[in-house]
Homo-oligomer: A and B are copies of this chain.
């Protein structure tokens, strides 16, 4: 089955059915509800490993097993959330085209501040194809953002710089959120925007 929230594609035999999704039941809405509720849970407790499928189900008011109709496993849910995260962050960066590397830093920092749990999920190891795919949209936006600052050099360098920029910004975020910079005076901590610019610019 293929669904996007508005409709579902179903196969019966070798026929293909398209049908609108019901809205007044939990039917068809659950997947979205689960992701939304999970994000809320991640705001309450930013540790993704503390997120419980059963509690989510309880909160939404469905049976403990219902989530498994929409996600293969707990990890599958987490993947989906991370993917949504990348999509959103890409969209937010797209709105700020023209602000260069600073925008990359800004958008990422906002994410990490507002939804640290979501950010933690996006840092996570062993992501599957879904997240990798979604993160490409983000990477594409980073490329677009920094492109004017790099002049028209070769496109490969552009991508390399974009990844470097992403990595650097993400790195500071990880250090920050990890408490690894706790106790250090503020002026000893590089601003992520400054770092992003530094990575992008130059020969």
Q: Residues on A close to B: CB < 8 A?
A: 46-47, 49, 116, 120, 123-129, 131-132, 135, 156, 159-161, 163-164, 166-172, 174-175, 177-184, 187-190, 195, 198-199, 202
Contacts and interface: CB of A to CB of B under 8 A. Distances in A.
> 5 smallest A-B Cβ distances: which pairs?
A167-B171, A171-B171, A49-B49, A168-B168, A127-B179
14 contacts: A46-B125, A47-B125, A116-B125, A126-B177, A126-B179, A127-B178, A131-B178, A135-B180, A160-B189, A163-B188, A164-B168, A167-B168, A167-B172, A167-B190
A190 B161 contact: yes
A134 to B, nearest CB: 10
Q: Looking at chain A's contact residues, is the secondary structure mostly helix, strand, loop, or mixed?
A: helix
This chain: copies in complex: 2
Given A198-B198, A199-B198, A175 B166 contact: yes
